[in-house]
Amino acid sequence: MDPVPARPSVRILLVEDDADFAEIVRRQLGAVAWADLSVEWAKTLGEALALLAGSSVDLVITDLGLPDSAGLATLERLAGATDRLIIVLTGMPDPRLPEEALARGAYDLVSKDRLDRAGLERLVRLAAMQANTFRALRDSEARFRSLTELTSDWYWEQDAQFRFTVLSGPGAAAMSRGGDPGVYLGKARWEIPDLEPAAGDWSAHRAQLERHEPFRDAQFRRRMADGSVRYMSVSGGPLHDRQGRFIGYRGGAQDITDRKRAEAALHLRNRALESSVNSVMITEQTRAGHAIVYVNPAFERVTGYAAAEVMGRDPRFLHGEDRDQPGVHELRAAVREEREATVLLRNYRKDGTVFWNELRVAPVRDDAGRVTHMVGVTTDVTDRIRYQEQIERQASYDSLTGLPNRNLLNDRAAQAVLQASRSGRALGVMFIDVDHLKRINDSLGHEMGDKVIAAVARRIADTLRAGDTVARLSGGEFVALLADLQRDDDASVVASKLMNAIGAPLRIEAHEFVLTASAGIAVHPKDGADAATLLRNADTALYRAKESGRACFRFFAPEMNERVVRFLALERDLRRALEERELTLHYQPIVRLGSGEAVGAEALLRWPRADGSVTGPAQFIPVAEESGLIVPIGRWVLAQAAHQAAEWNRGRRAPFVVSINLSTRQFRDPGLREAVQAATGGAGVDPSLLRLEITESAVMHNLEEGTRLLHELKDLGVKLSVDDFGTGYSSLGYLKSFPIDTLKIDRSFVRGLPGDRDSLAICRAVIALGRGMGAEVVAEGVETRAQARMLAAEGCELAQGYLFGKPAEPERIRPSRTARKPARGKET
Residues in the site for ligand C2E, rule: CB under 6 A? 588, 603-605, 616-618, 621, 637, 661-663, 666, 723-724, 747, 780-781, 783, 801-802, 807
Nearer to Ca ion, 357 or 800 (CB): 800
* CB-based contact 642:683 (threshold 8 Å): yes
| In the complex, minimum distance from the CB of residue 713 to ligand C2E, in angstroms, rounded to a whole number | 15
Query: Which helix (H) or strand (E) covers residue 251, if one does?
Result: strand 246-255
Beta bridge partners of 284: 291, 373
Among 283, 661, 680, 695, binds Ca ion (CB under 5 A): 661
Name the minimum Å distance from CB 640 to ligand C2E: 9
693 belongs to the binding site for Ca ion (CB under 5 A): yes
d(CA 470, CA 431): 10
Q: Which is nearer to Ca ion, 537 or 742 (CB)?
A: 742
CA distance 230 to 613: 113
How far CA 162 is from CA of 185, 210, 211, 435, 600, in Å, comes to: 10, 9, 12, 109, 139
In the complex with ligand C2E, the residue whose CB is nearer, 16 or 669, is: 669
In 10 A of CB 267, how many CB atoms? 10
Q: Is 776 in the site for Ca ion (CB under 5 A)?
A: no
CA distance 244 to 338: 63
Quote the CA–CA distance of 620 and 630 in Å, as a whole number.
Answer: 10
The C-alpha atoms of residue 410 and residue 471 are separated, in whole angstroms, by: 10
Q: What's the closest the beta carbon of residue 617 comes to ligand C2E, in angstroms? A: 3
| 220 sits in which H/E element | strand 215-223
Query: Does 696 contact Ca ion by CB under 5 A?
Result: no
* Residue 298 CB burial class (10 angstroms; 0-12, 13-18, ≥19): buried
Residue 404 or residue 807: which is nearer to ligand C2E going by CB? 807
CB distance 347 to 357 below 8 Å:
yes
With respect to ligand C2E, which residue has the nearer C-beta, 157 or 746? 746
Residues 391-410 that bind Ca ion (CB under 5 A): none
Residue 553 pairs in a beta bridge with 519
Residue 33 binds: one of Ca ion, ligand C2E, none (C-beta under 5 to 8 A by kind) = none
Q: State which of residues 16, 669, 724, 783 lies at the interface with Ca ion (CB under 5 A).
A: 724
Phi, psi torsion values for 636, nearest 5 degrees: -65, -45
Q: Residue 63 or residue 723: which is nearer to Ca ion going by CB?
A: 723
Return the number of the residue (539 or 723) whose C-beta is nearest ligand C2E: 723
Q: Among Ca ion, ligand C2E, none, what does residue 158 contact (CB within 5–8 Å per kind)?
A: none
Residue whose CB is less far from ligand C2E, 357 or 787: 787
Q: Which does 181 bind (CB under 5 to 8 A by kind): ligand C2E, Ca ion, none?
A: none
Min dist. Cβ of residue 652 to ligand C2E (A): 23
By beta-carbon proximity to ligand C2E, the closer residue of 97 and 685 is 685
CB of 748 to ligand C2E, least distance (A): 10
Q: How far is the CB of 680 from Ca ion (least distance, A)?
A: 19
Of the candidates 79, 18, 255, which has an alpha carbon nearest to the alpha carbon of residue 152? 255
Of 373-381, 401-409, 474-482, 720-728: span binding Ca ion (CB under 5 A):
720-728
Is the torsion defined by CA of 700, 706, 707, 713 positive or negative? negative
Among 64-72, 343-351, 616-624, 692-700, which window interacts with Ca ion (CB under 5 A)?
Answer: 692-700
Contact partner at residue 662 from ligand C2E, Ca ion, none, CB < 5 to 8 Å by partner kind: ligand C2E
CB of 621 to ligand C2E, least distance (A): 5
Q: How far is the CB of 776 from ligand C2E (least distance, A)?
A: 16
783 binds, among ligand C2E, Ca ion, none (CB under 5 to 8 A by kind): ligand C2E
Whose Cβ is closer to ligand C2E: residue 296's or residue 644's? 644
Contacts of 126 by beta carbon, 8 Å cutoff, 6+ apart: 59, 85, 107
- Which is nearer to Ca ion, 468 or 724 (by Cβ)? 724
Q: Is 319 helix (H, G, I), strand (E, B) or coil?
A: helix
What phi, psi does 96 have (nearest 5°)?
A: -90, -15
Indicate which of ligand C2E, Ca ion, none lies near residue 801 (CB less than 5 to 8 Å, by partner kind).
Answer: ligand C2E
Kindly state the smallest distance separating residue 476's Cβ from ligand C2E, in Å.
26
* DSSP collapsed to 3 states, 696-741: HHHHHCCHHHHHHHHHHHHHCCCEEEEEEECCCCCCHHHHHHCCCC
Whole-angstrom distance, CA of residue 403 vs CA of residue 405: 6
723: contact with Ca ion by CB under 5 A? yes
Residues 6+ apart with CB under 8 A from 180: 173
d(CA 315, CA 376): 10
Stretch that binds Ca ion, among 18-26, 89-97, 280-288, 741-749 (CB under 5 A): 741-749
Nearer to ligand C2E, 537 or 663 (CB): 663
Backbone angles phi, psi at 576, to 5 degrees: -70, -40
| Shortest CB 781 distance to Ca ion, Å | 7
| Beta carbon of residue 674, minimum distance to ligand C2E (angstroms, whole number) | 17
807 contact, one of ligand C2E, Ca ion, none, CB 5-8 Å limit per kind = ligand C2E
What are the φ/ψ torsions at residue 81 (nearest 5 degrees)?
-100, -15
Residue 604 to residues 49, 617, 618, Cα–Cα distance (Å): 155, 8, 10
Could you tell me the smallest distance in angstroms from the CB atom of residue 634 to ligand C2E?
Answer: 6
| Shorter beta-carbon distance to ligand C2E: residue 481 or 779 | 779
Q: How far is the CB of 693 from Ca ion (least distance, A)?
A: 4
Contact assessment for residue 482 and residue 464, using Cβ atoms and an 8 Å cutoff: yes
Residue ranges in contact with Ca ion by CB under 5 A = 661, 693, 723-724, 747
